[in-house]
Amino acid sequence: MDKIAIVADSIACLTREMVEQYGIRILPSNIHFEDKVYRDWVDISPSEAYRLLEKNPDHFSTSAPSPADYLDIYRELSKRAESILCITLSAELSVLHDAARVAKEQAKEELPQTTIELLDSQTAAAAEGFVVLAAARAVAEGKSLDEAIKAAEEVRGKVCINMVLETIRHVYRSGRIPKVAAQIGSALSVKPIITISDGAVRFVSIARTKERGVSRLLQMMREKVGENPVHVAVVHADALEEAQRLKQRVASEFNCIELWFSEFSPLMGYATGPGLVGLAFHTD
């Protein structure tokens, strides 16, 4: 029996290789299109999901896993692990954390032999992925549950994620700005730059072109990390070629301990729109 099992959600943007290497259990969110439901990263790839969003945005929606989904995962993992550490998307951005918490309360009586701990990553996408990786790597090194939580909390306290959007016009779906403001911004053809800070999505600035927006992302990372060794993830929402060029620039301009590449989950891409590219990073 394993000592500790790690649970994360598909919004963490972890690659299949990472998930398999560290035995991380991923709980997918749901993508609804017309009369069908697809599990994120299981039944449908992010690229395929963006094709559906482009085809008919009015019939595209998303939903988080339910408490019952989390409880099923806890039951499954309790058969092979003494403890479970569940790390979620920021509670400020989704009901997903609440679903995991409700399931934890339900599991107390049903699974009294299993310790279940819940950690709010306070971020999303590949930044959340780095928090999950910190815990999973601690577990792989044979560290205790408390030590794995501490490792995740340390990364949570310093990981950053900054992203440039192709357009502002999709952002009204998140409820954070009125639709008319998104339409005006789209007419001006500006490229918004956003970050996740204190668990919430925040606008940082705008760029006139995508190229300037990408250069601003690199500048923001450079201001944070300087010449220090850095862990970096490049994410994109249906913008493969731009993201590949960004990855090449990161590799040539920074002292990378690790540099990985992933698609941006459509669960968040629904609000940001296709074309997003971003950088998640933290120093060692």
pLDDT by residue, tens only, the chain of 284 residues: 689 999 999 999 999 999 999 999 999 999 999 989 999 988 999 999 999 988 998 899 999 999 999 999 999 999 999 999 999 999 999 899 999 999 999 999 999 999 999 999 999 999 999 999 999 999 999 999 999 999 999 999 999 999 999 877 656 455 544 443 444 445 457 898 999 988 988 888 889 999 999 999 999 999 999 999 999 999 999 999 999 999 999 999 999 999 999 999 988 888 888 899 999 999 98
Tell me the CA distances in angstroms from 19 to 6, 131, 248, one per residue in order. 10, 13, 24
Query: Please, are residues 277 and 243 in contact by the beta-carbon 8 Å criterion?
Result: yes
Query: Please, are residues 230 and 257 in contact by the beta-carbon 8 Å criterion?
Result: yes
One-letter identity of residue 109 = E
Tell me the CA distances in angstroms from 202 to 64, 162, 177, 198, 199, one per residue in order. 22, 10, 11, 9, 9
Query: Please, are residues 155 and 131 in contact by the beta-carbon 8 Å criterion?
Result: yes
Measured in degrees and rounded to the nearest 5, phi and psi for residue 81 equal: -140, 145
Please write the tens of the pLDDT for every residue from 197-252: 889 888 888 899 999 999 999 999 999 999 999 999 999 999 999 999 999 999 99
Sorted by where each starts, the structural domains of the chain and their CATH numbers stand as 2-29+64-156 (3.40.50.10440), 160-283 (3.30.1180.10)
Compute the distance between CA of residue 230 and CA of residue 269 in angstroms, rounded to an integer. Answer: 26
Tell me the CA distances in angstroms from 46 to 32, 200, 206, one per residue in order. 13, 23, 26
Compute the distance between CA of residue 197 and CA of residue 207 in angstroms, rounded to an integer. Answer: 20
Which residues, 6 or more positions from 67, have their beta carbon under 8 angstroms from its beta carbon? 99, 100, 102, 103, 106
Number of Cβ within 10 Å of residue 45's Cβ equals 14
